[in-house]
C-alpha cells in the first residue's frame, strides 16, 4: 500500500530530495478510486464507533503550498463519511481579535471535541510559514514558535487527541500548470487571484520555511507525513489510507451499556 | 413528491391530529433510497456553489422527541456531501458557562458562517421544551422566550441565513418500539438509559410544549416543517428533499473572477 514519506525525529530532510511524483508501484487512477471507496466504508464505520465511544479525538492537520490540493483532499477522503463526525476548521487570515492574542489562541479554540475527527485546513503552521516569509513578526519571535508548537501538540496528545500532520508536497512546475488551468478554465477562474502570482515568486522562501517546520516539528508525539501530491489521485489514496489506518489504531469501542437493563419492558 | 406538513402563521395545529405514519402515496423504501441518492448528488453540487459564492448560509434546525431520529436523519441526508460544507452543532445539556448567560448566547455562537450549511441537532427550542417540562426556569421566564426566539430568528434571516426548522414527529407507540429495540439489540443497548423511561412518562407534557413551540414560533421568516417520522425511510426522504429544495431556492452562483486576468501566462 502506498505510504507517505516519514522520517525519524532528529533526522533532517531536504524537500528538493523528496519526489512529488514518485513511482506509483502498479497503482492507477481506477484502482486508487476503488481502494479509496473501500477505505471510506471502513472509516465510516470506525468514525461511528469513535463517536459512540466519545473518548478519543483524531486531528488531521493539512498544510501545503497554494494549489497543493487541501480542499480536494478533504473532499475526496471525507465524502461518504457522516459529516456529523467531523469538525473542519479552515484557518484564514486571522481577525483583529485573533491577532490580539498569542498565535495558538485561535487554534486551541478549534481543537475538536471527543468522539470527533477534526481537520485543520491550514493550521498553526501558517504562523511559521506565511508569517515568516512576509516578515509579519520579527524573526526572534517566529524562531521561538517551533518549540511552542511542539509543546502545544504535546499537550493535545497527552490528552485525548491523536494528531496526524500531512504536508501536501507539490513541485513548482505542477503548481504552474494548476494555476494556468485555473486561469484557462472559466469554471475555475474565480479561484484565481493575481496575488497567487506574487506568492509564487516567493516559492524558494516558502520551501525553506516548510523545510524548517518539517524538521523542527517532527516529534515522536506528532510526526509529519509528506504526501507526494503532483498526482491528485495518488495524493488522495495516501491520505485516505492514512485516515483509515489512524482510526483503526485508535480502535474505538462501543461503550458499555448501563447496569440493570436486562428484562426491562418499555410501556 | 412527499412534503412536510406546514401551516400558515396564525393558524393553530394540534399534534394529535397530525399523522406520524401517513399515506406514502406509492413510495417505498427502495424508491425513496434512489430519490435520496439523486437529491444527495444535487445537494453536493449546490453545496459546492454555496461555498464558492460565500454569501449565504442555510441553517437546518432539527427537533424531535427521543428516538425520533435526529442523528439518523442527519447521517442519511448529509452523507455523500462534502463534510467541509457543514457546521453541525449538537446542543446538549448547557455547561456552567453557558448557564451564566442568556439562553440564546450559546446558540448565537454556533450560527454557521457564510457559504456553509449549518445543522442544529437540538437547538434553542430545548429552552422551551425540556426546560419547561422540568421547570428549570419559572414559567414567567419561559413564556417570554417564544418572542425572543422569533426575534432572534428574524435577526438571522435578515442577515444571510435561511432557516429551515424541522420537527420529527413520532407517535408514542413508535417510540415504545424503538426504545425496546435499543434494549433488545446488544449493539444498540449503549444508547439506552433508564432516564429515557422517566422522560417517556412525561410524553403528554412534551407534546404540549412542542405544540406551543410549533404554534408560537411558526413565522413567515422561519416556518416549521412537521416531518411524519414513524417510518424512517419516509422521514429521510422528506428531509432530503427539503434540503435540496432549500439549496435550490438559494440559487448559489460561482463568484465573478478578478478583472484583468485575460492572457496571463504563469511562469
Residue B20 lies in a domain: yes
> A179: which 3 cell numbers?
494555476
> Is the predicted pLDDT of residue A247 greater than 90, yes or no?
yes
User: A190-201 pLDDT, tens per residue?
Assistant: 999 999 999 999
Residue A141 lies in a domain: yes
Q: Which residues of A touch B243 (CB under 8 A)?
A: none
CA dist A83 and B116 (Å) reads: 13
Residue of chain A whose alpha carbon sits nearest to that of B72: A82
User: B221-239 pLDDT, tens per residue?
Assistant: 999 999 999 999 999 999 9
Could you say which residues from 167 to 206 on chain A have a Cβ atom under 8 Å away from some Cβ of chain B?
176, 179-180, 183, 187, 189-190, 192-194, 197, 200
Inter-chain residue contact B266 with A179, CB threshold 8 Å? yes
Residue A98 lies in a domain: yes
Q: Is any Cβ of chain A less than 8 angstroms from the Cβ of B78?
A: yes
Q: How far is CA A101 from CA A108, A128, A143, A156, B106, in A?
A: 12, 16, 18, 19, 22
Which of A83, A88, A121 has its CB closest to that of B78?
A83
Q: Is any Cβ of chain B less than 8 angstroms from the Cβ of A159?
A: no
Q: Which residues of B touch A260 (CB under 8 A)?
A: 194
Which of B71, B190, B264 has its CB closest to that of A256?
B190
DSSP B126: G
Residue B112 lies in a domain: yes
Q: Is any Cβ of chain B less than 8 angstroms from the Cβ of A74?
A: yes
Residue B93 lies in a domain: yes
Count the neighbouring beta carbons within 10 Å of the beta carbon of residue B94: 17
Q: Which residues of A touch B197 (CB under 8 A)?
A: 264, 266
Q: Which residues of B touch A265 (CB under 8 A)?
A: 180
**Strand ranges across the sheet with A57-64:** A86-90, A117-121, A57-64, A161-169, A224-228
Confidence of residue A40 (pLDDT cuts 50, 70, 90): very high
> Is the predicted pLDDT of residue B16 greater than 90, yes or no?
yes
**Strand ranges across the sheet with B57-64:** B86-90, B117-121, B57-64, B161-169, B224-228
Which of A82, A86, A255 has its CB closest to that of B75?
A82
* CATH code where residue A20 lies: 3.40.50.300
Q: How far is CA A240 from CA A33, A35, A79, B4, B209, in A?
A: 10, 9, 11, 38, 46
User: B109-155 pLDDT, tens per residue?
Assistant: 999 999 999 999 999 999 999 999 999 999 999 999 999 999 999 99
Q: What's the structural domain count of chain A?
A: 1
Residue B29 lies in a domain: yes
Contact B232, B181 (CB under 8 A): no
**∠B22-B19-B124 over CA atoms, to 5°?**
120
Average pLDDT for chain B: 97
CA dist A143 and A33 (Å) reads: 41
Range of the structural domain that residue A34 is part of: 15-250
> Is the predicted pLDDT of residue A11 greater than 90, yes or no?
yes
Among A120-124, A154-158, A255-259, B208-212, the range scoring the smallest mean pLDDT is: A255-259
pLDDT at position A19, please?
Answer: 97
Choose the mutation target among A86, A118, A265, A266 for the interface with B, i.e. most B CBs under 10 Å. A266
Is A57 exposed, middle or buried, given 0-12, 13-18 or 19+ CB atoms closer than 10 A? buried
> Is the predicted pLDDT of residue A187 greater than 90, yes or no?
no
pLDDT at position A86, please?
Answer: 98
Residue of chain A whose alpha carbon sits nearest to that of B258: A193
Residue A267 lies in a domain: no
Confidence of residue B187 (pLDDT cuts 50, 70, 90): confident
Inter-chain residue contact B81 with A83, CB threshold 8 Å? yes
Residue A5 lies in a domain: no
> A218: which 3 cell numbers?
517532527
Rounded (10°) CA dihedral B5, B70, B165, A91: -150
Count the neighbouring beta carbons within 10 Å of the beta carbon of residue B194: 11
Q: Is any Cβ of chain B less than 8 angstroms from the Cβ of A259?
A: no
Residue of chain A whose alpha carbon sits nearest to that of B75: A82
DSSP B267: -
> Is the predicted pLDDT of residue A264 greater than 90, yes or no?
yes
Note the Cα B116 to chain centre separation in Å.
15
Amino acid at each position: 500500500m502506498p505510504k507517505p514519506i516519514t522520517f525519524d525525529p532528529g533526522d533532517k530532510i531536504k524537500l528538493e530530495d523528496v519526489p512529488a511524483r514518485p513511482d506509483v508501484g502498479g497503482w492507477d487512477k481506477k484502482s486508487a478510486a476503488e481502494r479509496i471507496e473501500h477505505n471510506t466504508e471502513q472509516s465510516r464505520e470506525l468514525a461511528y464507533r469513535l463517536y459512540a465511544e466519545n473518548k478519543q479525538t483524531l486531528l488531521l492537520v493539512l498544510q501545503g503550498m497554494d494549489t497543493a490540493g487541501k480542499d480536494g483532499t478533504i473532499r475526496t477522503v471525507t465524502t461518504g463519511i457522516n459529516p456529523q463526525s467531523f469538525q473542519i476548521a479552515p484557518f484564514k487570515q486571522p481577525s483583529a481579535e485573533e491577532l490580539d492574542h498569542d498565535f495558538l489562541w485561535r487554534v486551541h479554540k478549534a481543537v475538536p471535541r471527543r468522539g470527533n475527527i477534526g481537520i485543520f485546513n491550514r493550521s498553526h503552521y501558517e504562523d511559521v510559514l506565511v508569517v515568516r516569509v512576509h516578515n509579519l513578526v520579527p524573526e526572534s519571535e517566529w524562531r521561538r514558535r517551533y518549540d511552542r508548537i511542539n509543546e502545544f501538540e504535546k499537550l493535545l496528545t497527552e490528552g485525548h487527541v491523536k494528531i496526524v500532520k500531512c504536508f501536501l508536497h507539490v513541485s513548482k512546475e505542477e503548481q504552474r500548470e494548476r494555476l494556468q488551468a485555473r486561469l484557462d478554465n472559466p469554471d475555475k477562474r474565480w479561484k484565481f487571484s493575481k496575488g497567487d502570482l506574487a506568492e509564487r515568486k516567493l516559492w524558494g522562501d516558502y520551501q525553506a520555511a516548510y523545510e524548517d517546520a518539517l524538521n523542527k516539528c517532527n516529534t515522536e508525539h506528532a510526526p509529519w507525513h509528506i504526501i507526494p501530491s503532483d498526482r491528485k489521485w495518488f495524493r488522495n489514496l495516501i491520505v485516505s489510507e492514512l485516515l483509515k489506518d489512524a482510526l483503526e489504531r485508535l480502535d474505538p469501542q462501543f461503550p458499555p451499556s448501563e447496569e440493570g437493563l436486562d428484562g426491562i419492558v418499555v410501556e
